Structure 1
Amino acid sequence: MLSSHSIVYVEIKREIDFYYQMQHIEMRFELHLNIEGIASERHQFKLEHVHDVSHKPFSFGGGILYLHTNQGVFPYNIQEDPSYFIHVFKSLKAQK
């Protein structure tokens, strides 16, 4: 079993361009999981502060990965199956 794993998540940034047209800019980041915790582009959580990880799939593929933490629930838009990421999280939690 791996002791670390990552999954790609997507954020959409909306901007008005020079011609007053709405632009949607897709940015990709990685959510990193290891024995210490989970880190995104903007947040870091110690493993003991993450209570659960869940997933809401979309019918067209992808979905939302939810981190349930002591600071609230943090959603991440993903485009791949998070089963292995969730499995690694639960395995690491069981070791602590």
Structure 2
Amino acid sequence: MKLLAEQPYIKVTRVVNSIEQKDVEEERVLYLYDETLVTEHRQFPIQDILDISYRTVGSSGGLLYLHTIKGVFSYTVKTSPEAFIRAFKGA
């Protein structure tokens, strides 16, 4: 498999204890290969991906949407995924 592109994304987990509630951000990476797209916990064969789109939210970052035959998966990104999307559409 040949690595075509990488896109960092953020997974936000809410942690609640008896005193406080806080959001913990964990940095992860999407890896686009010529045959598959890999996240922290999932793998999508390229032929199962219908499209990848992006929508800005607020002043920095946005949501990257992965449209697949099994539904739409969203990933919070802090940097523009334009190069990642171009690499997917060119593959």
Residue of structure 2 equivalent to 1:47: 46
Amino acid at match of 2:16: I
Distance, in Å, in 1 between the alignment partners of 2:58 and 2:40 is 27
Residue of structure 1 equivalent to 2:16: 16
Deviation at 1:3, TM superposition (A): 5.3
Distance, in Å, in 1 between the alignment partners of 2:3 and 2:90 is 9
Q: Which runs of 5+ in 1 are unaligned?
A: none
Equivalence map 1:7-86=2 (5 Å): 7-17=7-17, 19-86=18-85
**Higher Rg:** 1
Please report the TM-score for the alignment, with normalisation by the length of structure 2: 0.92
Amino acid at match of 2:10: V
Deviation at 1:28, TM superposition (A): 0.7
Amino acid at match of 1:5: A
Query: What's the Cα RMSD here?
Result: 1.4
Displaced runs of 4+ in structure 1, greater than 4 A? none
Q: Identical aligned pairs, as a percentage?
A: 30
User: How many residue pairs end up in the alignment?
Assistant: 90
Distance, in Å, in 2 between the alignment partners of 1:11 and 1:3 is 22
Q: Which runs of 5+ in 2 are unaligned?
A: none
Residue of structure 2 equivalent to 1:88: 87
**Secondary structure of residue in 1 paired with 2:65:** strand
Distance, in Å, in 1 between the alignment partners of 2:16 and 2:78 is 26
